[in-house]
Amino acid sequence: MTAGGGRVWAGAGRAVFAATAVFALIFPLLAGTYYVRLATGIYMFGLLASAWNLIGGYTGYPDFGGAAYLGIGAYTTGILMVRAHTPFGAALGAGCLLAAVVAVLMGSLLLRLRGHYFAIATLGFLLVLQQLAANLDITGGGSGMNLPVASTFTTFYYWMLGALVLAVAAGWALPRVRVGYALAAIRENQDAAQVLGITPLPFKIIAYAGNALLFGAAGGIYAYWFTFIDPPTVFNVDFTIQAVVMTLFGGPGTAAGPVVGAVILKSLDTVLTNRSVFFHNIFFGALVCVLVIFAPRGVAEIARTRGSLLRAVRAELGASRL
Amino acid sequence: MSVQTQIALQNALNGLLIGGTYATVALGFSLVWGILNVVNLAHGALVMLGAYTTYWLFTLFGVDPFLSLPLTGAALFVFGYCVQRGIINQVMRAPFLITFLLTFGLELLITNIAQAAWTADFRSVTTVYSGRSLSVGPLTLPIVRGASLLIAFVVAILLHVLLTRTRLGTAIRATASDQEAARLMGIPIARVYAITFGIAAASAGVAGGLISLSFPVFPAMGAGYTLIGFVVCVLGGLGSVPGALLGGLLLGLLQTYAASWLGPNYDNIVAFSALILVLLVRPAGLLGRVQRFRG
């Protein structure tokens, strides 16, 4: 491609970006309540996928316990609003902060583990928090907790949009700063990174805490939006898995990939779930299987690098099958 | 004998009994992880299928649950063989996140199809001897649980003999230690993987059959057992039959004592704390070989 072509593309990209931003801002004025809710849901999963991308995509540490931090955000927001009558914004901030602090503490233990061990340990941590929330009094135990009802749904749309923008910005900025270089080195070869003088743990903790903070934000907004939370709904591994699948679908380790994945898959999922909840789970199960077998590096990625999707899929199969 | 001693002994017995079930669950999980290097998140779903097989054989045809265990095992072997051959073998060389996600997808599919087919109702296998128990001195031994523990040992011994004393076992272990060298020796890798996964599924099925005698049977019952399989493998060390047995009994004891101190609702917390502690202090497990786990 010529340099002129590059400039045209960059200009077109900027125009598309600006148009999308304007459209997202005025969307609630144009669309009905149903579509605003739908868009809020899509933003939420875009947010989760972008958050997971920080630790799973850029750092290469497949975290399966992200919903632990979603739960922390949701419960902190809920408890502060109900018991201390804190305004939503402050409660949400506290939820994000607590999620990040817990992530720093847990991360300094869990991020020493590799591969399967890290993945299952994070999953175990999620189950522990779920059980803890069901046993404690302050969380309302197994019967859950009701939050105050907000005056308008549009609020959540903008909160979720704001958090999503923050998450995408983090994903965009990360590969452009020193921390991002260190994380890329750790992802590609941790031992080699260490030889180059990078101490892996602090960098991994930064990515993990960023992921937790954004999951916490999603949880806090989700709690106020749905006005009811209980341990199995917020400490739900489904949130993490959907975030992983959307990221893999859209392209891990890119800023836009997770959002693209969330928009496509959440829309598809909504169409199917409207027919039956049964389809939601079957759809995700089948999607995960098909995706990892045929396009483990993301549909967008193989389509971009190898031209023909079909040829790329064949090459992918040839590389990983026995 | 004081009441305290009696309670402590009864807890020990209960812990060993539930630990036997954990060991049976973990045997297959450990085999697949150790030999195939796949952490099989669908393992609990296989346990669930085993429980349903036993339930249906008992409910529809009146087959005694203990007698139907070989049938359950055989059915699950065929299922496991096909799953590995047709699906998981496609990604055996991919990074571990891929196999991890794939088995999670399989778990979702199997569990939800089971729910669509058999509903989410709790079912139970109630035989004439279900509620009976023996008195051993001051202790109570439910006969179903006692027999389950016995069968756990039998399955473990069979598996150990299979892995260490037969041509197939040698082929399986050779494949685990060096895939390429095994291929050059003429071992059909894809088939060995499928057979290994089939054996693991069969033992998961037997575990499910035993579980159906003491616990309710429903589609989501397996989820907790996958985590248990993992914790047991970490406790006992990966890829060894004695390790899985020891790890299972240990976890059973630990959870039973913890439940009597803290109450019954802290089992996951106890299992997880044990997991983290062992991973950080002795990452190869109590009986395991030294491997690279930390980073």
Over the stretch A36-57, which tens digit does the pLDDT of each residue have?
Answer: 999 999 999 999 999 999 999 8
What letter represents residue A118's amino acid? F
Q: Across residues B42-54, what is the average pLDDT?
A: 96
d(CA B35, nearest CA chain A) in Å: 14
pLDDT-derived band at A149 (thresholds 50, 70, 90) equals confident
Q: What is the mean pLDDT of chain B?
A: 88
CA closest to A61 among chain B residues:
B97
Q: Is the confidence at residue B3, as pLDDT, over 60?
A: yes
More confidently predicted of B99 and A298: B99
Q: Confirm if A98 and B235 have CB atoms less than 8 A apart.
A: no
Number of other CB atoms surrounding residue A262 within 10 Å: 29
Q: What pLDDT shows up at residue B285?
A: 60
Mutate to test the interface with B, among A63, A110, A128 (most CBs of B within 10 A): A128
Q: Is the confidence at residue A1, as pLDDT, over 70?
A: no
Q: How far apart are CA A193 and CA A10, in angstroms?
A: 33
A214-223, B133-142, B199-208: the lowest-pLDDT one: B133-142
Q: What pLDDT shows up at residue A281?
A: 77
B89 neighbourhood in chain A, CB within 8 Å: 321-322
Residues, chain A, total?
322
Q: For chains A and B, what is the number of CB pairs under 8 angstroms?
A: 141
d(CA B125, nearest CA chain A) in Å: 27
Phi, psi of B20 (to 5 degrees): -60, -40
Report the Cα A317 to chain-centroid distance in Å.
27
Q: What pLDDT shows up at residue B144?
A: 87
* Strand ranges, E, within A46-189: 145-146
Q: Between the CA of residue A16 and those of A11, A161, A173, A289, B52, what are the distances in Å? A: 9, 17, 19, 33, 54
More confidently predicted of B265 and B58: B58
Q: How far apart are CA B106 and CA B47, in angstroms?
A: 13
CA nearest A106: which of A237, A216, A227, A212? A212
Q: Confirm if A174 and A54 have CB atoms less than 8 A apart.
A: yes
Q: Confirm if B189 and B183 have CB atoms less than 8 A apart.
A: yes
What letter represents residue B1's amino acid? M
Helix, strand, coil % over all residues of chain B, rounded to 5: 75, 5, 20
Over the stretch A94-109, which tens digit does the pLDDT of each residue have?
Answer: 999 999 999 999 999 8
Q: Is the confidence at residue B238, as pLDDT, over 70?
A: yes
Q: Is the confidence at residue B78, as pLDDT, over 70?
A: yes
Q: Is the confidence at residue A73, as pLDDT, over 90?
A: yes
| Helical pair A115-135 and A88-110, crossing angle rounded to 10 deg | 140
Q: How far apart are CA B275 and CA B285, in angstroms?
A: 10
Partner residue facing A288 (CB), from B108, B283, B294: B108
Q: What pLDDT shows up at residue A31?
A: 82
Q: What pLDDT shows up at residue B294?
A: 42
Partner residue facing B98 (CB), from A132, A285, A296: A296
Place of tokens 């049976």: B24
What letter represents residue B55's amino acid? Y
Q: What pLDDT shows up at residue A4?
A: 54
Domain ranges of chain B: 3-281
- Cβ density class A5-27: b for 16+ within 10 Å, e for less: eeeeeeeeeeeeeeeeeeebeee
B3-281 has which CATH code?
1.10.3470
Phi, psi of B134 (to 5 degrees): -95, 150
Q: What is the mean pLDDT of chain A?
A: 86
Q: How far apart are CA B209 and CA B53, in angstroms?
A: 7
Q: How far apart are CA B275 and CA A147, in angstroms?
A: 35
Q: Is the confidence at residue B110, as pLDDT, over 90?
A: yes
Q: pTM, whole model, 2 decimals?
A: 0.84
